[in-house]
Amino acid sequence: MKGIKGDTLSTQKLHIGIIGAGRIGRVHAETLAFRLPEAEIVAITDINREAAEALAARCNIPKVAASSAEILADKQIEAVLICSSTNTHADLIEQTAKAGKHIFCEKPIAFSLEQIDHALAAVKKAGVQLQIGFNRRFDANFARVRHAVATGEIGAPNLMHIISRDPGPPPLAYVKVSGGIFMDMTIHDFDMARFLIGDEVEEIYTAAGVRVDPEIGNAGDLDTALIVLRFRNGVIGTIDNCRKAPYGYDQRVEILGSEGKIATENCYPNQAVVSDGKSVHTDLPLNFFMERYTESFASELKSFVTAIREEQTTEVTGIDGRIPVAMALAARKSYDEHRPVRLEEVGG
């Protein structure tokens, strides 16, 4: 495996290029610049040059490249963060691999398994490392749930329930290009289901509809869904999604085992409880993923940088990026055909 060689392994900074200066690109750039001294951003690019220049100024990035090709041609850069729109991910993974650079790519890799397979083949051929941006694996609460399952603390898992509801729907323009709710929202939950149970899903059944905004339905998408997962080991799981929860970002998990259960609740900006003559209440949960998953974003990038510097395998591999897309395709097929769908039917 390619990595940083030599006696300075533990002290040499990993030189990184970033493709994409939008919302998630900004999160990652700020994490690298302000929280990970073992890494250094060499250059950044975006089709919106002003956005790239603004982020470069904020994060002291010395170079704003004119294109992704310029990033890939820079011999100083050892690893690339792909934070651009989903339709560019697979091609950029292939190009980055051919350039001999390690890759961190936001999810999903692509909407097509064929495209994903081409990208993963390029990564394998080049012998570089690839990590997919499923940051929730690095959240302390969910990691604790995984630990309880993996160690047998709650016995053998029987039921799993994931609740994942956004505070409000995304812009309609995003809905039209996002690949739909199962690709842009549930895909995180598909990854979490595999991660938490430690096994693969073999069959999916979806009940869904448009309950939040008719325009989302007119765009060909859904905004409310309940998905039933049947794992190979017999565990039954459910994923509860909605694009609008009026009270805020709802992120909860419960797993029932043969010897007990483990559950995580929402995270709040404080632990204060107000009690008066009318009610007992707290403040609303942390509002949306930027606030809720701040630490997990930092932890996943630290994991990536460490894997490259110490020549280890990344914690979230290309296959981990492929399987949730297959699950998303199966979920949509199940909704369209009103029946359970096995993952093998969609190439999973």
Across residues 155-169, what is the average pLDDT?
Answer: 97
95 and 113 belong to one structural domain: yes
Question: Does residue 308 lie in a domain region?
Answer: no
Q: Please give the tally of structural domains in the chain.
A: 2
* Segment among 91-105, 225-239, 291-305 with least mean pLDDT: 291-305
CATH number of the domain that 122 lies in?
Answer: 3.40.50.720
- Cα 27 to its chain centre, rounded Å, is 13
281 and 193 belong to one structural domain: yes
157 and 109 belong to one structural domain: no
Question: Does residue 311 lie in a domain region?
Answer: no
Q: What is the pLDDT of residue 11?
A: 60
Question: Does residue 252 lie in a domain region?
Answer: yes
57 and 155 belong to one structural domain: no
For every residue of 244-293, DSSP letters joined together read --TT--EEEEEEEESS-EEEE----S----EE-SS-EE-PPPP-SHHHHT
146 and 61 belong to one structural domain: no
72 and 183 belong to one structural domain: no
- Which pTM was predicted? 0.94
* The residue count for the chain: 348
286 and 165 belong to one structural domain: yes
Question: Does residue 36 lie in a domain region?
Answer: yes
Question: Does residue 315 lie in a domain region?
Answer: no
69 and 146 belong to one structural domain: no
Domain's final residue, options 87, 110, 128: 128
Question: Does residue 303 lie in a domain region?
Answer: no
Q: What is the pLDDT of residue 7?
A: 41
22 and 161 belong to one structural domain: no
Across residues 276-295, what is the average pLDDT?
Answer: 87
110 and 207 belong to one structural domain: no
CATH number of the domain that 157 lies in?
Answer: 3.30.360.10
* Three-state secondary-structure class, residue 337: helix
Across residues 180-206, what is the average pLDDT?
Answer: 98
Give backbone dihedrals phi and psi of 131, rounded to 5 degrees, phi first: -125, 135
Question: Does residue 1 lie in a domain region?
Answer: no
Amino acid at 60: N
Domain's final residue, options 82, 110, 128: 128
Question: Does residue 9 lie in a domain region?
Answer: no
Distance CA 160, CA 296 (A): 22
Q: What is the pLDDT of residue 257?
A: 98
220 and 237 belong to one structural domain: yes
Domain that holds residue 67: 14-128
For the chain, the average pLDDT equals 95
Query: Which position has the token pair 């979806």?
Result: 206
Domain's final residue, options 87, 104, 128: 128
229 and 342 belong to one structural domain: yes
